[in-house]
Chains A and B, each alone.
Chain A
Amino acid sequence: MTREMTGAEMVVQALIDQGVEHIFGYPGGAVLPIYDELFQQDKVQHILVRHEQGAGHAAEGYARSTGKVGVALVTSGPGATNMVTPLTDALMDSIPMVCITGQVPTHLIGNDAFQECDTVGITRPCTKHNWLVKRIEDLPRILHEAFRIAETGRPGPVVVDIPKDIQFKSGLYENLKGARQTQYQPRVEGDERAMREAVRLMAGAKKPILYTGGGVINSGPEATRLLRELVELTGFPITSTLMGLGAYPATGKNWLGMLGMHGTYEANLAMHDCDVMVCIGARFDDRITGRTDAFSPNSKKIHIDIDPSSINKNIRVDVPIIGDVARVLAAMVAMWKEAKPVRDAAAHAAWWGEIDRWRAKKCLAYRKNRDVIMPQYAIERLYQLTRKHDTYITTEVGQHQMWAAQYFGFDEPNRWLTSGGLGTMGYGLPAALGVQIAHPDSLVIDIAGDASVQMTIQELSSAVQYEAPIKIFILNNQYMGMVRQWQQLLHGNRLSHSYTEAMPDFVKLAEAYGGVGIRADRPDELDDKIEEMIAVRKPVLFDCRVASLANCFPMIPSGKAHNEMLLGEEVSDDDIGQAIGAEGKMLV
């Protein structure tokens, strides 16, 4: 059924028809007609941020924690350019997001008009797709297609740039939700022959491993369920990337911990020594492979991914399977059950024996301290004290992010939100806001660094406005710890500009914003303070003063192989200074 309405009305109507309940945005001249429409309805709730970057990350947090598309609305020019970071972040991490930007009226485009920028030009490389809407007739089609493209296949961000005159123009609107408007239609079913070959390889494996990633989370709850079933059926050990944590429970018996640069010893050595690797929705990122020429040299590799361009990009695989994780796993689980393969029990026992010896190294052990809060200890306590709660964790970027990944256990998907691909400092706080808006009664914690948190601290004000009781747990080491660590590793411990001389008083800052500030200095007060934080029904800035020079281990130095790992307990400052060779220094 079609109805006549203005472009601005169409935007709001399309959001309603798409089932959008919350959007994150910031007004300006070029989106005023849309804001006026928002004002006159109550189906879509608009969350006003303090900076457009915050809107983008909040939409990402909303999306990742719900599995739905996140929506942001910003004005032309500076509003749009402020969205570039979250768009790039969402593209790198495969987060579905629709961003609507206002644009100067069509007749002024190209004139260097006030607050004009080439939004589609600027965002072309950081979106899955984008549109400049030049005719009102195209608007309904583009709005609905934007949602379909953001969420189908490999999810990602899209931008719809709408000139102001188009927002005022009248046209016919039709609800086109789900109707395909372009030929874009990614393949979701795996190839039968490839899947059989994969099952055959897995059945014959002596040293198998499952290497899973963000694609399992993207695929949804069914993928998680099937993954767990597959582990149960096969008995294979399983590791995951940073992006896939929670798909298989950290408390599960086959769990090896995260892999990669800061992954566990057992996960990385099992990856290196395995004979069959099953990569499920992960993309062989350089944080995982290290030296590609020394990456898991003796294994047959199976790769399940919905995006053909992820396959054979960095690592050549033997059995590529293009499809959606849930669909492919459903087929493979069925094939496995039907074939009832007899596995080489002796080989499997030997493999687990080897893994247990690696586990016995206790690569995550750290020196305990009675006087100073160790950052690892702070995360362990936070984990233990939040276990009985319905908890979501976001992070900023740095050492605290890696410690969170290592010491906080995730038993469910969509509970762990972090900027992996772009590594955006300032992601966690607004992302937490997005999560809390979607889950008002849950405990939402941003595990933050003292430097990162200052990048988007202003969103604390949004959290106060919407009574979103997010908890910002700052591991305050007074340094850009991750930068300092690399300077120690690579640059003779010359700590060029990685120390923040003038740190704000986070407790007072919290109060200034209308939130609650809590500070913990000593290990023996930590538990009580964390309990206090959890109990408060307001946004909290928690200034957790931790050891300032702790390093994040294990670590595979840049340019090294999986079996050339630095372990925390025994590593001396000298080893650290020498761990990376001349060529490794070129890498990031």
Chain B
Amino acid sequence: MNAMTTPGQSHSAYFLDDAPKTTERHTLSVLVDNEPGVLARVIGLFSGRGYNIDSLTVSETEHEKHLSRITIVTTGTPMVITQIKNQLDRMVPVHRVIDLTVSGPALERELALIKVRGTGEMRVEALRLAEAFNARVMDATTESFIFEITGKGDKIDQFVTIMVPLGLVEVSRTGVAAIRRGPERT
């Protein structure tokens, strides 16, 4: 006899489990030793374990202490987000992982350079919209502009979308930088 006490369900495999999963978007601020390979380590963790990276920025922030800050925007189920934080936190060069999405109000900014090509009405319209978005003209020729815009990601998305019919050529974005509001350290 094989002890088969549960009725045979068809969706029986453990990683095929299709329970509803809501994904969330989180911004993580990761303080790391600025040593060779640290970025490869973090990126390798994400690719190796199949986590998403929506945006990633990195640069040295405290030169004397050799510390860098990596800001990662990621999406996943709550269980996966917790895993990501724990996996990052146990890496040897990682000092701290702060989940800015849950640790209180935070500022998030991104910078983008946006090239638009056009003449006549289109050109005037592009310039008018740029003003409305507080985008600055950084370069201009008789048939093109390069705008610089800073803001939250969705504001930049929006600006890019409306530039499409006006002759959008290309976009370069920095990725998200983020920090906690108020006087405390992140």
Distance of A279 Cα from B146 Cα, bound (Å): 59
> Interface with A: B22-30, B36-44, B124-132, B174-182, which one?
B36-44
Contact B3 A567 (CB under 8 A): yes
B2 part of interface (Cβ distance < 8 Å):
yes
* Chain A residues with CB under 8 A of B2: 564-567, 570-571, 575, 579
Distance of A566 Cα from B16 Cα, bound (Å): 22
Which of B8, B92, B95 has the most C-beta atoms of chain A within 10 angstroms of its own C-beta?
B92
A106 part of interface (Cβ distance < 8 Å):
no
Scoring A residues 167 to 211 as 1 if CB is less than 8 Å from chain B, else 0, what string do you get?
A: 000000000000000111010000000000000000000000000
* Chain B residues with CB under 8 A of A132: 36-37
Contact B13 A558 (CB under 8 A): yes
Contact B79 A587 (CB under 8 A): no
Contact A184 B5 (CB under 8 A): no
The B interface, classified by DSSP as helix, strand, loop or mixed, is: loop
Could you tell me the distance in whole angstroms from the C-beta of B49 to the nearest C-beta in chain A?
A: 10
Our pick among A184, A292, A316 for the contact of B14 (Cβ within 8 Å) is A292
* Chain A residues with CB under 8 A of B79: 312, 316
B52 part of interface (Cβ distance < 8 Å):
no
Distance of A558 Cα from B3 Cα, bound (Å): 15
* Chain A residues with CB under 8 A of B1: 567, 570
Could you tell me the distance in whole angstroms from the C-beta of A233 to the nearest C-beta in chain B?
A: 31
A496 part of interface (Cβ distance < 8 Å):
no
* Contact A290/B14 with A124-B37, A313-B83, A561-B6 known, Cβ cut-off 8 Å: yes
Which of A134, A184, A565 has the most C-beta atoms of chain B within 10 angstroms of its own C-beta?
A184
* Chain B residues with CB under 8 A of A128: 92
A586 part of interface (Cβ distance < 8 Å):
yes
Distance of A14 Cα from B11 Cα, bound (Å): 55
Contact B14 A308 (CB under 8 A): no
* Contact A583/B10 with A128-B92, A564-B2 known, Cβ cut-off 8 Å: yes
Could you tell me the distance in whole angstroms from the C-beta of B141 to the nearest C-beta in chain A?
A: 40
B87 part of interface (Cβ distance < 8 Å):
yes
B102 part of interface (Cβ distance < 8 Å):
no
Closest to A311 in B: B86
Distance of A308 Cα from B90 Cα, bound (Å): 8
Which of A134, A289, A292 has the most C-beta atoms of chain B within 10 angstroms of its own C-beta?
A292
Q: Report the contact-size class of chain A (Cβ under 8 Å from the partner).
A: 35 or more
A-B contact count (CB 8 A): 99
Our pick among B14, B41, B89, B91 for the contact of A289 (Cβ within 8 Å) is B14
* Chain A residues with CB under 8 A of B89: 308-309
Residue count of chain B within 8 Å CB distance of chain A:
34
Contact A312 B82 (CB under 8 A): yes
Closest to B86 in A: A309
Distance of A145 Cα from B33 Cα, bound (Å): 15
A21 part of interface (Cβ distance < 8 Å):
no
A291 part of interface (Cβ distance < 8 Å):
yes
A19 part of interface (Cβ distance < 8 Å):
no
Contact A584 B13 (CB under 8 A): yes
A492 part of interface (Cβ distance < 8 Å):
no
Could you tell me the distance in whole angstroms from the C-beta of A533 to the nearest C-beta in chain B?
A: 38
A294 part of interface (Cβ distance < 8 Å):
yes
Which of B3, B4, B5, B44 has the most C-beta atoms of chain A within 10 angstroms of its own C-beta?
B3
Distance of A249 Cα from B154 Cα, bound (Å): 60
Our pick among B3, B6, B33, B44 for the contact of A294 (Cβ within 8 Å) is B6
Q: Give me the 5 closest cross-chain CB pairs, A-B, nearest first.
A: A309-B86, A559-B13, A129-B92, A583-B13, A308-B86
Which A residues are closer than 8 A to B by beta carbons?
Answer: 120-121, 124-125, 128-129, 132, 134, 149, 153-154, 182-184, 186, 265, 269, 286, 289-294, 307-309, 311-313, 316, 558-561, 563-567, 570-571, 575, 579, 581, 583-584, 586-587
**5 more A-B contacts (CB under 8 A) besides A581-B8, A584-B12?**
A153-B90, A291-B17, A307-B86, A579-B2, A587-B13
28 residue pairs from A and B, CB less than 8 Å apart: A121-B40, A124-B41, A124-B44, A128-B92, A132-B36, A154-B90, A182-B33, A265-B3, A289-B14, A291-B13, A291-B17, A293-B17, A308-B86, A309-B89, A312-B82, A313-B83, A558-B13, A559-B16, A563-B5, A564-B4, A566-B2, A567-B1, A567-B2, A581-B12, A586-B13, A587-B13, A587-B14, A587-B15
